[in-house]
Amino acid sequence: MPLAFPAFLHPLLPARFRTRPKRVAVVRLSGVIGAVSPIRRGLSIAAVAGSLEQAFGLKGVAAVAIVVNSPGGSPAQSHLIHRRIRALAEEKRVPVLAFVEDAAASGGYMIACAADEIVADPTSVVGSIGVVSAGFGFDRLIERIGVERRVHTQGEAKAMLDPFRPEDPADVARLKALQADVQTVFTDLVRSRRPNLKPGEDLFTGAVWTGRSALELGLVDGLGDVRSTLRARFGDDVEIRMIAEARGSFVARLLRRAAPGGTGLADEAIGAIAERAAWARLGL
């Protein structure tokens, strides 16, 4: 049985008698997943891989906490991030906790499902297990202003969903088939990672719920926040090690914004609008 010493004596004790606090690495994954615009980048496996490797490679780490705050985005990038988290967790044999802030929706929820446990705030937005594709049609506009659209392809589906031509039912059918495939991957993943989903509830309609309702449905495991949950789980002296987000250098971001002709700033504006629209779909 280990000897118990008063806390104030710990710094004076030989190393073999000291009780080391548990160490937990925290990685924040915030924002839209995938490329928001040609220059403005969201979350991707390339952007977060380094942070994840650092978190799971931290010496003596007792757990890795993934803080998710995302309305979703690219299914492929969401799935790749999910798989990388699971691979590292299994390789390092480290448990993973996910904490939902404003939202873990769509691809954000897919990433959260990589955790062994999901903890949300009662007011978090959780779910949106579905697939969406959105765009605009400009065919009537260009006809009105006298512009003729000319497209030459090899392959009848190469110009699928061209926004400057009338919508083709065959294109829509192909898109629906793609969406169905992605939805199958998503629902299978959720079912495999969340075995305690509430029976009799259709959770795969793309709907969202608050954290409180998500707990009742089995979409999350508890309610709380990072600090209080980690202190309750690993002790008040838990060492919380924040892993810096991979955002690129300050100089690189300035250069992108100062692209020739002001396109960098314009792209930032377009990207900001697109990101705002993604959050707006959740009412946030």
- In this prediction, residue 55 carries a pLDDT of 97
- In this prediction, residue 1 carries a pLDDT of 44
Average pLDDT over residues 218-225: 97
Average pLDDT over residues 56-80: 96
- In this prediction, residue 176 carries a pLDDT of 85
CB atoms closer than 10 angstroms to residue 57? 12
In a domain, 228, yes or no: yes
In a domain, 219, yes or no: yes
The mean-pLDDT minimum among 55-64, 94-103, 165-174, 240-249 falls in 240-249
In a domain, 135, yes or no: no
- In this prediction, residue 169 carries a pLDDT of 84
In a domain, 88, yes or no: yes
In a domain, 227, yes or no: yes
- In this prediction, residue 95 carries a pLDDT of 97
We report the CATH number of the domain holding residue 273 as 3.90.226.10
- In this prediction, residue 250 carries a pLDDT of 45
| Mean per-residue pLDDT of the chain | 83
- Given a contact cutoff of 8 angstroms between Cβ atoms, the answer to whether 113 and 194 are in contact is yes
Residue 119: domain span: 21-128+194-280
Contacts with 38 (C-beta within 8 Å, 6 or more apart), sequence order: 267
What is the spatial distance between Cα 246 and Cα 195, in angstroms, rounded to a whole number? Answer: 32
pTM: 0.80
Please count the residues of the chain. Answer: 284
CB atoms closer than 10 angstroms to residue 29? 23
**Domain total of the chain:** 1
pLDDT 10s digits, 189-203: 999 999 999 988 889
Cα 124 to chain center, whole Å?
14
In a domain, 12, yes or no: no
- In this prediction, residue 157 carries a pLDDT of 78
CA angle in degrees (0–180, nearest 5) for 132-32-225: 110
Q: 167 falls in which pLDDT band (50, 70, 90)?
A: confident
- In this prediction, residue 248 carries a pLDDT of 42
Q: What are phi and psi of 103, to 5 degrees?
A: -155, 145
Average pLDDT over residues 145-154: 80
In a domain, 256, yes or no: yes
Q: Which residues pair with 26 in a beta bridge?
A: 65, 242
What is the spatial distance between Cα 50 and Cα 243, in angstroms, rounded to a whole number? Answer: 10
Q: Percentage of residues in the chain with pLDDT exceeding 90? A: 56
pLDDT 10s digits, 227-237: 999 999 999 99
- In this prediction, residue 202 carries a pLDDT of 87
- In this prediction, residue 174 carries a pLDDT of 87
| Better-scored residue on pLDDT, 138 or 111 | 111
What is the spatial distance between Cα 5 and Cα 10, in angstroms, rounded to a whole number? Answer: 7
For the CA atoms of 185, 190, 193, 198, the dihedral, rounded to the nearest 10 degrees, stands at -150
pLDDT 10s digits, 78-102: 999 999 999 999 999 999 999 999 9
In a domain, 63, yes or no: yes
Closest CA to 115 of 149, 147, 90: 90
